[in-house]
Structure 1
Amino acid sequence: MIRTISINEFFLLSESVPLADVRTPAEFAHGHIPGAFNLPLFSNEERVLVGTTYKQVGREEAILLGFDLTGSKWSGFIKHALEVAPGKKIAVHCWRGGMRSGAMAWALNLYGFEVYLIEGGYKSFRRFALNQFLQPMELLILGGRTGSGKTKILHELALLGEQVIDLEDLAQHQGSSYGTMNKMIQPSQEQFENNLAFQLKDINRAKRLWVEDESRNIGKVTIPTPFFNQMARASLIDIHVELEQRVGALILEYGSLDKDFLTACTNRIHKRLGPLQTKQAIEAINEGRIAEFIRIVLVYYDKTYQKDMAKRSGEKVLRIDIISQETAENAKQILNFTNTIPATAQA
C-alpha cells in the first residue's frame, strides 16, 4: 500500500518509520531531513544525464534512460530498504515528490512494503523548516565570558527538566577562532538549519527555551535571521565567573590541542588581537605556557563580549555571580535565580 502524506503528518505518526531519501548522494550531503537515510535512485553523474535528456530530448526519453540506468539496481534498493526497515514499513521522498520517489515507492510496494510517500518531498520539508524560525518562542539566553562553562551548564539545565537547544553542538563549532577544536566538521548551512528546525518542532512554545549567547555566525554557519532576531530581543542571564576559574577551565579544554592548530587559529585573529599580543600568544603556545596564552587571548574575547553586551537593552541583561566549580551546582543556582525573576522581566 502507498499512502501519500504531508511532512507534518509524517512527524505526527504514532510510531517511528524509517525515512528514505532517494535523491543523489550530493543532494543528500548538501541538506537532508535529520534521521533520514540515503537510498539514491541515481548517482550524481546519472542524475545529470537524466536531467540533460529531459531538457534536451523530452520526458519520455528521460524516463527510459532512468530505467536503463537503474535496471540492475532494484534488488539492491529493496535489500537496503529491508536492512533499515525490516518491518517493511517505510517513508520515501525525493526533491519535490516527483518521479524518483514515485518509482521507489512503486517498487517497494510491489515487494510488500507499506509505503508513506512524502507529498512535496524535501522541498516541503524546507518550507516546514524555515517556518519554524518564524514562530515566536519564549527564549532565555545564557551569556557569560569565554570559559564560563555555559555549554556544560546548558546540559545540566536540560537534566533539570528545562528546554534547551545547544546551537554550538548543532553547528559543530564552539564559536571562537579555535571553535572546531581541531576535530569537528561543520555541516552545510542548509543542514544546520534543518537540524535546528528539527529540534524546534518539538519545543513547547508556551515554556521557556534556553540557548547560549552566540554571535550571528558560529564558525562558517549562520543562525537564521528570524531566530537570531528573537535571540537579540530576549533576556540574557549574564553569568560572572572569576578570571582564574575561567583560565583553569580553558586549560582543560585547549591544553591538549595541537600547537600548530592553536598557532594557526591565533594568527587568524592577529588583526584584532594586535601584533605584540599575537607574538606573545604564539610564543606562549610554543613554550607550553598554555595559561599565559589563554590570558592573552581572553583580553580580546572579553572586550568583544563587553561590546556585544553594550548593544543589548540594560533591563534585559540579568547578572549573576557564579562561585562554585561544580557545574550541577551552578545550574541549580542559575535556575533558582531565574525563577525569582518576574515573567515580565524575562519576556
Structure 2
Amino acid sequence: MAMQLSIDDFLKLRSQLPIVDVRSEGEYHEGHIPSAVNIPILNNAERIAVGTDYKQRGQQEAIKTGFRLVGPRLLDIVNKTEEIGKEILVHCWRGGMRSSNFCQFVGMARVQSHQLAGGYKAYRTKAVESYTWPLKLIVIGGCTGSGKSEILRALKAQGEQVIDLEQLALHKGSAFGGLMMPPQPTTEQFQNNLFEEIITFDRSKRIWIEDESIAVGKIFLPHGLWTQMNNSPIVEITVNKETRIERLVHEYGSADKELFLQAMVNITRKLGGQHFNAAKEKLLQNDMASVIDILLTYYDKAYLNGLAKKKQRVKNSVPWDGETIDAFAASLIQAID
C-alpha cells in the first residue's frame, strides 16, 4: 500500500527520491514538477477513451476500459519505473485512481512508492500561494540595452538572491526577445519553475528582480508577484545611448534578418510608419547600429513614460559605463547596503 504524503512532506522528500508523474503526456507538457519523470498510466488517446466511456456508460465501464487499455503496457510501465528507482514519489492530477493504481502495479514488482495526497493540483495550489508570500524585492530598472539581465546574473554570481524572469521565460521581454531563443515554456510551466526558485530563498533577505511588464513574450507573470513588483523599490541603471546601441548590436547583430524584420512589422503601429520605413531601409543595408538607434527612440520614450509614473519608487539611480560587470555588481550591492 502506498504511503500518502502531504505536499510539504513530498517537497522535502524529493531531494532524496525521484518523482514519477503518471498523468498523460499532454497534461505533463502543459505543466509539471520540474524534476518529475513522466510515465503515463493512461496516455493521451487512452485518457480520452476512458473519459468518453465514463460520460456515456458510467464509472464501472470506464474503469474496465482503463484496465483493458493499460494491461498490454503494464510490463513496460514497471520496467521504466524500475529504471528510475526502487523507491519513488508518485502523483497524478488529484491524487486519485491513476496514482493509486500505479502504486499498486509497481508495488507488485517490489517498488516502494509514496503517493502525493491531492496530486499535482496540491503542488499547483502551493505554487500559486508562493507568489503572494512577502518578498523583499529590489527591482532593477533601466532603458533597453542597459544590461539589466546581465547585471542580475553578476549579482547572483556574487551570492545575491535573484529572480531571473527572462531566463525562466526563455525570452528577453521586448518584441525582439524571442529571437535566437528556444521555444518558451507554457505559462503554467514557467510559473512552476518560478515557484521552484521562490522556495529556495531566505525571504528575510533581499531578492533582485528585473523591471518587466506582466507579459514576457507569451508568458504571463503570476498576479501576486506582479503586484509585489509594482510596490517594490526600483534601482535605475543609467547607460548612455551609444553604449546601449553597441550592446544591442552585439546581442542582435547575428539574428536572422527576416525574423528581425517580422518583429519590427509587429510593432509598426507603436513605432510609426515613418520610423518603421527608416529602420527597414537600414536593416536591408545591414546597418544594424542605425536600426537599433531608430528602435530605441520608441523604446526609450515608452520606458521613460512608464518610469515617470513610478518616480516615487526609484530609490537609487546608478550610472554604468557598460564595462566591468562584476565590479559594477559589487558597487550596486554596496550602494544598496
Normalising by structure 2, we get a TM-score of 0.97
Corresponding residue for residue 248 of structure 2: 250
1:151 to 1:315, Cα distance in 2 relative to 1, 3 A: closer
15-24 vs 269-278, which moves further: 15-24
Following the alignment from structure 2 to structure 1, what is the Cα–Cα distance between the partners of residues 145 and 322?
Answer: 14
Match of 2:230, SS state, is: helix
Identity of aligned residues (%): 38
Task: Name the counterpart of 2:73.
Answer: 73
TM-score (norm 1): 0.94
Deviations 1:43-75 (A, max 9, x none): 211101111212221222111111100111111
Q: CA deviation at 1:317?
A: 3.8
In structure 2, distance between residues paired with 1:66 and 1:14 = 29
Which of 250, 260, 263 is the equivalent residue of 1:262?
260
Partner residue of 2:97?
Answer: 99
Q: C-alpha distance in 2, partners of 1:252/1:227?
A: 32
In the alignment, which residue of structure 2 is the partner of 1:25? 25
Structure 2 match to 1:273: 271
- Looking at structure 1, the residues matched to 311 and 145 of structure 2 have their Cα atoms a distance apart, in angstroms, of 24
Secondary structure of the corresponding residue to residue 239 of structure 1: strand
Give the Cα separation in 1 of the matches to 2:269 and 2:50. Answer: 50
Question: Is this contact kept in 1: 2:5–2:117, CA < 8 A?
Answer: yes
The offset of 1:313, in angstroms, is: 4.1
**Which residue in 2 is equivalent to 1:321?**
319
Letter in 2 for 1:49: A
- Structure 2 CA distance for partners of 1:310 and 1:168, relative to 1, 3 Å: same
Unaligned ranges ≥5, structure 2: none
The equivalent of 2:2 in structure 1 is: 2
8 A contact 2:138–2:233 mirrored in 1:
yes
Q: Verify the 8 A CA contact 1:22 1:38 in the aligned structure 2.
A: yes
Q: CA RMSD in A?
A: 1.3
Question: Is 2:182 the counterpart of 1:184?
Answer: yes
Counterpart residue number, 2:54: 54
Match of 1:336 in 2: 334
Q: Which amino acid aligns with 1:40?
A: P
Answering whether residue 87 of structure 2 is matched by residue 89 of structure 1, we say yes
CA contact (8 A) 1:237 1:317 kept: yes
Q: 1:156 offset after TM fit, Å?
A: 0.9
Number of the residue aligned with 2:238: 240
Aligned residues: 337
Q: Which amino acid aligns with 1:82?
A: E
Q: How does 1:263-302 map to 2 (within 5 A)?
A: 263-302=261-300
Aligned counterparts of 2:176 and 2:231: Cα–Cα separation in 1: 28
Q: Deviations over 1:198-247 (max 9, x none)?
A: 21112111011111110111111111111101001100110101111111
Structure 1 residue runs of 5 or longer lacking an equivalent are: 340-347
